[in-house]
Structure 1
Amino acid sequence: MDLGISGKVALVTGGSAGLGLAAAKSLAREGCDVCVSARDPEKLADAVVELQEFGKVVHAVLADVEDPAAARRVVEETREVLGPIDILVANAGGPPAGRFDEVGLDGWDVAVQRNLLGTVRLAHAVLPEMRSRGWGRIVTITGRAAREALDGLALSNALRPAVAGLVRTLAREVGRDGVLVNNVMPGPIETERLRALAGDADALRQRGEDIPVGRVGQPEEVGDVVAFLASDRASFVNGVSLLVDGGEAHVIA
């Protein structure tokens, strides 16, 4: 299926590894020129090498969206090198795990800046041009905590729903301008974060056995969903928070 986004310019934050890199690869595979931003220079350099295998223009910006000035800088540099941004994938690593009484106020400040306000600032920076051109896609990546509280994830339980609420709000406000805004809620996907939370390979395998499809997901399975939501083929999908979890949430519910 041709997703109709070849030649579009995509910016993926948190794009050096995990779900962000998977989304960047899926978009590059569909013909997008891609800019990835992240905090780790070595991982960012490795990501560029991987993305260049798709034969598209790739750019990288070293930045941390926790910095209030970073979002606009990343957007401006992407525009200068690749052109106006058609697709924004707002992805930030999950905040640290911990119960409410284990998370200090400094932890809340960092999580709010990175996982909520970073997305707000990115949207502010890209929306005017998207609306003026009459086409744009914003896809956020959160997690199942955007739908329900999960034990031991106080920060995620508070901030992921806030991002999902922002998505629903923007979808209603800019949809008539040709800009569609959606959210992806990955379940257990085999990333560094899930491996750290699981603790060991046996626990990770058991985690997969409890899911209806019998395994944990792979990052590229999330990346492909992001690419679809960013495409012309998803032209009537707006304001959704889409679970990508192998059916786990439905079993738990």
Structure 2
Amino acid sequence: MTTASPFDLSGKRALVTGSSRGLGRAMARALAQAGAQVVLNARDAVALGAAAADMAAEGYAVSAVAFDVTSRDSVNDAVAHIEDEIGPIDILVNNAGMQFRSALEAFPPEKFDQLIETNVTSIFNVSQPVARHMISRGRGKIVNICSLMSSFARSSIAPYAASKAAVANLTRGMAVDWARHGLNVNGIAPGYFVTELNEALVKDEKFNAWVEARTPMGRWAQPEELGGSVVFLSSDASRFVNGHILYVDGALTATV
């Protein structure tokens, strides 16, 4: 007798926010490879359409819905559209986020507000309406993208670190509130990955050398190396994993 793989996502539908590029796009592709139908999201409709077209050309089941995760009205309309016109959301990956670097004493207050709104408030905005549908069905998977900075801090990014620490504890709180309804809510904290947003850091010889020396595996990660983690936390393989933050960092947090 053969049984389906616990990592098989066939018949599931996943909404991935901020998925027109970078880690979001890589995770969406990994979910599609595991059999899920994927709904991509971004504010930039042109970039979003291009990403969806690329995935469709590879044979994956993909839709694209442009909306602003910081706007509750935009989110509510989009979630209703997906649920009514595309299908039930079984998996939500809250990946949309932003970074801004500045010495803390000179950090623009409007950028602080934007960071919190984009990195933290957006997760509440999207998760609440999606979770209401999941709760009514008695099942659902939510994965929030945290960061190494959920536990640490570096100069020039204190507000970002604060926002990602909030994401980690919001993840735990969501799990505590919603586990009784059949939902699994977990987080992924990526280490240093080669992405478009990190291109300047990768090219900075001093910073690149620091990352390679500080990470026991001796290198940056590639976006596709986040795929297995998001598939695991989105699948039946993680049925009893709840309120956990999974660090994908090449053992950086394991060393001093």
Tell me the TM-score range normalised by the shorter chain.
Answer: over 0.9
2:196 partner amino acid = E
Instruction: Identify which range, 106-115 or 12-21, moves more after superposition.
Output: 106-115
**Alpha-carbon distance in structure 2 between the residues aligned to 1:187 and 1:212:** 12
Which runs of structure 2 are paired with 1:71-150 in the superposition (5 Å)?
A: 71-150=75-154
Local SS of the residue matching 2:242: coil
**Structure 1 residue ranges without an equivalent (≥5):** none
Find the aligned partners of 1:80 and 1:106 in 2 and give their Cα distance: 36
Aligned equivalent of 1:25:
29
* Aligned counterparts of 1:239 and 1:94: Cα–Cα separation in 2: 23
CA spacing shift, 1:44–1:153, aligned 2, 3 Å:
same
Normalising by the residue count of structure 1, what TM-score does the alignment of the two structures yield? Answer: 0.93
Cα contact 1:9–1:86 (8 A) shared by 2:
yes
Deviates more, 1:63-72 or 1:125-134: 63-72
Q: Secondary structure at the match of 2:255?
A: helix
| Cα drift, residue 223 of structure 1 | 2.5
Moved more, 37-46 or 85-94: 37-46
Please tell me whether the aligned partners of residues 6 and 236 of structure 2 are also in contact (alpha carbons under 8 angstroms): no
Aligned length: 252
1:24 alignment partner, SS class: helix
Runs of at least 4 residues off by over 4 Å:
none
Describe the shift of the 1:201–1:35 C-alpha distance in structure 2 as closer, same or farther (beyond 3 A).
farther
Query: Would you say 1:221 and 2:221 are equivalent positions?
Result: no
The corresponding residue for 2:179 is 175
Report the equivalent of 1:250. 254
Aligned to 1:194: 198
For residue 66 of structure 2, the aligned residue among 39, 62, 66 is 62
Aligned partners of 1:201 and 1:44: how far apart in 2? 32
- Sort the Cα spacing of 1:117 and 1:219 in 2 relative to 1 into closer, same or farther, 3 A: same
- 2:213 and 2:55 map into 1 onto residues whose CA distance is 32
- The answer as to whether partners of 1:65 and 1:113 remain within 8 angstroms in 2 is no
CA distance in 1: counterparts of 2:38 and 2:142, whole angstroms: 14
Deviates more, 1:141-150 or 1:236-245: 141-150
Question: Does 1:240 find its partner at 2:244?
Answer: yes
Superposed CA deviations along residues 121-176 of structure 1, whole A, max 9, x for unmatched, are 11111111111211100001121111122222122111111111111011111112
Q: Is the 8 A contact 1:135 1:177 kept in 2?
A: yes
Backbone CA RMSD of aligned residues: 1.8
Task: Provide TM-score, normalisation by structure 2.
Answer: 0.92
Please list every run of 5 or more consecutive structure 2 residues that lacks an aligned counterpart in the other structure: none
Percent identity at matched positions?
Answer: 37
Match of 1:111, SS state, is helix
For 1:120 and 1:203, how far apart are their aligned partners in 2? 33
| Superposition deviation, residue 195 in structure 1 | 1.8
Distance 2:101 2:203 in 1: 13
Change in Cα spacing, 1:153 to 1:84, as seen in structure 2 (3 Å) is same
SS, match of residue 41 in structure 2: strand
